[in-house]
Amino acid sequence: MKSLKKRYLRDNLMKVFLVGNTIVVLTPLIIILLYVFIQGIGAINIDLFTQELGSPSRAMTGRPTGLVHTIIGTFVVDILALIIAVPFGLGAGIMLSEYPDNKLNPIMRVMNDTLNGMPAVLKGLLAWALVVKPMGSFSGLSGGVALAFVMLPIIARSTESSLMNIPWSIREAGLAIGLPRWRVIMSIVIPASKSGLATGLLIAFARAAGEAAPLMFTSFGNNYKSSTLIGWIMGPVDTLPQRLYSLAISPYAQWHQLGWAAGILLLSFVILSFIIVRIVIREKNY
């Protein structure tokens, strides 16, 4: 009987240990959320969503300033990045998972992991060399390319692992009724793993949406809205993480306030997209 008591004690100790660990892991998250919220809430007002930033004097003289150009720019650059990264990332993931015999796969896997581990600032340099230099100007497009390099390896890896979760027997069943291989992949395997695929895309998106470094010398930043539609893609564009950084290092108290507001915006942007994707993939998932 004594040993049973001991085991119960050990069981409870383990539980306390695990719960404690969970709290330790979650604490920084909660602190960040709370701190950003408390600091930034004062700067949240209607001007934030309707006005441009303008020159420092605009804030100094108390005229309304906001980050509308930054919000739009973030959408433009992130969506450009998705458009570029998703086809390649999905393609690479499908290749790794569905054609495991291919001789290129081991090399591809190593290169993918290397790309994933590479500092984001180098990806910005690469995008600068590939897009900014030939085009002769900073642009939303080059920012999209830089972020696509961030997304690509994450999408490829998550696609591979979520497709691998679908048992081989399902693929064989598809082949056995006389479907070509690509049909089996497109119509049976991919629909079956769509929630995994969506989660992977989202993680990649959230990762890239928070990157500031690669955007410094690609989309560069802009204090004003672009006057033309094409200007958002071909001209310098503001994005939240990089604007947050430049507001924070600026010498103006008003801009520091605005920086906290940008922090709130960035956090809610990422959290919102998480929630939306969760809702979208939950329905009709049998």
Binding site for another protein (CB under 8 A): 100-101, 166, 169-170, 172-180, 183, 187-188, 191-192, 194, 286
CB 151 within 8 A of CB 78: no
- Least distance CB 158 / another protein (angstroms): 19
- Least distance CB 198 / another protein (angstroms): 13
Q: How many helices (H) and strands (E) does the chain have?
A: 16, 0
86 vs 166, beta carbon nearer another protein: 166
CB 149 within 8 A of CB 130: no
What SS3 state is found at 100?
A: coil
Neighbours of 65 (CB within 10 A): 22
179 vs 270, beta carbon nearer another protein: 179
- Least distance CB 203 / another protein (angstroms): 22
- Least distance CB 281 / another protein (angstroms): 12
Q: Look-up: residue for tokens 């950003």? A: 36
- Least distance CB 62 / another protein (angstroms): 57
CB 48 within 8 A of CB 66: yes
DSSP bridge partners of 237: 220
Distance from C-alpha of 52 to C-alpha of 65, rounded to nearest angstrom: 6
141 vs 189, beta carbon nearer another protein: 189
- Least distance CB 131 / another protein (angstroms): 39
53 vs 189, beta carbon nearer another protein: 189
19 vs 176, beta carbon nearer another protein: 176
Q: What is the DSSP letter of 189?
A: I
- Least distance CB 184 / another protein (angstroms): 8
183 vs 278, beta carbon nearer another protein: 183
- Least distance CB 82 / another protein (angstroms): 24
What SS3 state is found at 222?
A: coil
Question: 259: closest CA among 107, 70, 120, 81?
Answer: 70
Q: Which residue type is seen at 76?
A: V
93 vs 196, beta carbon nearer another protein: 196
Question: 246: closest CA among 223, 225, 227, 271?
Answer: 223
What SS3 state is found at 86?
A: helix
DSSP string covering 138-149: --HHHHHHHHHH
74 vs 97, beta carbon nearer another protein: 97
